[in-house]
């Protein structure tokens, strides 16, 4: 029988010189990304900011379009601030970059899962194969490879995968086994099942809505159950963990956890469920970012 556990997934593994949440409130957040300070909108930060937002100092500000905090344009406050600049996490190196969707080439709150994956892979003391679906620019893939796993990384965006390869080289992991695949998650996992390929760990961070490499559509509530069925079929006889995260969906973390557990019920184990959050640098406030469910095997 699957056990359930409520957890706060707190991303507090960052060196503050590499990433720090300095302040948030009044619909915005002020963050340090390596050498640059950034202001971005965040609708969840509807509490009063510690300092007035108009007093914040930054290198760049994301100006969101009306009614859409994801799309907009960057306003460069510091003209000397480069469009791309280096960052690192636990020895993994990447280039942060301003994108048209307010993101900076990484989701820093996922570091809580990077650290967890590394601990589990190292503790297993055996060869581990990990599948990273919707892998974006590859920080989870690099963390797993750094810990010794053989990784298959999949994302529908060739540009994101190219950044991942770049980060693999920057991190000194060129000799590690990482397959970078541009494909649709549903089609790829179905093919892997037919091929008889199996994985000891699977990570998936599906969007609310997306498109595959051949314009396939992805809708979270409609397509997640089928993908989770594929995930179960792809697990090895000695699975370690499955990590599922979700952004901008009208679901509780309980619903997410029970959906995951329903497909893995024959395996027993434990499903941790809860919110992912970022701590503020100078006080005890937390900024929630997403919900997640994380299954682990017994022992």
Torsion sign (Cα): 118, 142, 140, 197: negative
What confidence score (pLDDT) does residue 71 get?
77
Domains and their CATH numbers in the chain: 3-12+105-296 (3.40.50.150), 19-82 (2.60.40.1180)
* CB burial of residue 285 (10 Å; 0-12, 13-18, 19+): middle
Residues 209/223, Cβ–Cβ less than 8 Å: no
**Any bridge partners for residue 280, and if so which?**
21
Residue 55 DSSP one-character state: G
Is residue 98 left, alpha or beta, with left meaning phi > 0 and alpha meaning psi from -120 to 50? beta
Residue 220, pLDDT score: 82
Per-residue pLDDT, 66: 61
Kindly state the greatest CA–CA separation across the chain: 58
Q: Are 231 and 202 in contact (CB under 8 A)?
A: yes
Question: Which pLDDT belongs to residue 25?
Answer: 98
User: 212-225 in b/e burial notation, b at 16+ Cβ within 10 A?
Assistant: beeeeebebeebbe
- Residues forming beta bridges with residue 36, ordered by sequence position: 33
Kindly state the helix (H) or strand (E) to which residue 156 belongs, with its residue range.
none
Q: Is 35 helix (H, G, I), strand (E, B) or coil?
A: coil
pLDDT of 50 reads 98
The residues, any chain, with a CB within 8 Å of residue 95's CB and separated by 6 or more, are 84, 85, 86, 87, 105, 163, 166, 167, 170
Supply 152's token pair.
């298959």
SS3 (DSSP) at 109: helix
pTM of whole model > 0.85? yes
SS3 146: helix
Place of tokens 């992991």: 173
H or E stretch at 132? strand 129-133
What does the pLDDT profile of the chain (299 residues) look like in tens digits? 899 999 999 999 999 999 999 999 999 999 999 999 999 999 999 999 999 999 999 999 999 876 565 678 999 999 999 999 999 999 999 999 998 888 999 999 999 999 999 999 999 999 999 999 999 999 999 999 999 999 999 999 999 999 999 999 999 999 999 999 999 999 999 999 999 999 999 999 998 877 777 777 878 888 999 999 999 999 999 999 999 999 988 889 999 999 999 999 999 999 999 999 999 999 999 999 999 999 999 75
For residues 29, 34, 36, 38, the Cα torsion angle rounded to the nearest 10 degrees is -10
- Point out which residues pair with 201 in neighbouring strands: 130, 241
CA 284 centroid distance within chain: 23
DSSP 3-state of 140:
helix
The Cα angle at residue 112 between residues 106 and 113, in degrees rounded to 5 = 85
The region, left, alpha or beta by phi > 0 then psi within -120 to 50, assigned to residue 54 is alpha
Report pLDDT for 252. 95
Which pLDDT score is estimated for 70? 66
């Amino acid at each position: 029988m699957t056990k359930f556990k409520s957890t706060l997934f707190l991303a507090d593994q960052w060196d503050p010189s590499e990433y720090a949440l300095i302040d948030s409130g009044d619909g915005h957040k002020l963050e340090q990304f390596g050498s640059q300070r950034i202001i971005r909108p965040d609708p969840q930060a509807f509490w009063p900011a510690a300092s007035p937002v108009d007093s914040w100092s930054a290198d760049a500000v994301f100006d969101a379009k009306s009614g859409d905090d994801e799309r907009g344009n960057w306003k460069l406050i510091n003209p000397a601030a480069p469009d791309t600049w280096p960052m690192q996490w636990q020895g993994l190196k990447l280039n942060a970059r301003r994108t048209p969707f307010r993101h900076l080439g990484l989701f820093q709150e996922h570091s809580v899962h990077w650290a967890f994956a590394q601990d589990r892979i190292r503790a297993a003391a055996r060869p581990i194969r990990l599948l990273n679906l919707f892998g974006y620019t590859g920080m989870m893939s690099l963390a797993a490879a750094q810990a010794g796993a053989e990784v298959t990384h999949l994302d529908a965006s060739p540009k994101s995968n190219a950044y991942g390869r770049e980060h693999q080289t920057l991190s000194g992991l060129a000799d590690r086994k990482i397959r970078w695949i541009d494909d649709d998650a549903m089609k790829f996992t179905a093919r892997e099942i037919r091929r008889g390929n199996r994985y000891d760990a699977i990570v998936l961070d599906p969007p609310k809505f997306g498109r595959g490499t051949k314009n396939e559509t992805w809708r979270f509530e409609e397509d997640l159950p089928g993908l989770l069925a594929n995930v179960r079929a792809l697990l090895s006889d000695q699975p370690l963990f499955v990590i599922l995260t979700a952004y901008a969906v009208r679901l509780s973390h309980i619903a997410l956890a029970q959906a995951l557990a329903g497909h893995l019920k024959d395996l027993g184990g434990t499903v941790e469920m809860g919110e992912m959050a970022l701590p503020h640098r100078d006080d005890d406030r937390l900024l929630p970012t997403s919900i997640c469910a994380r299954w682990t095997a017994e022992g």
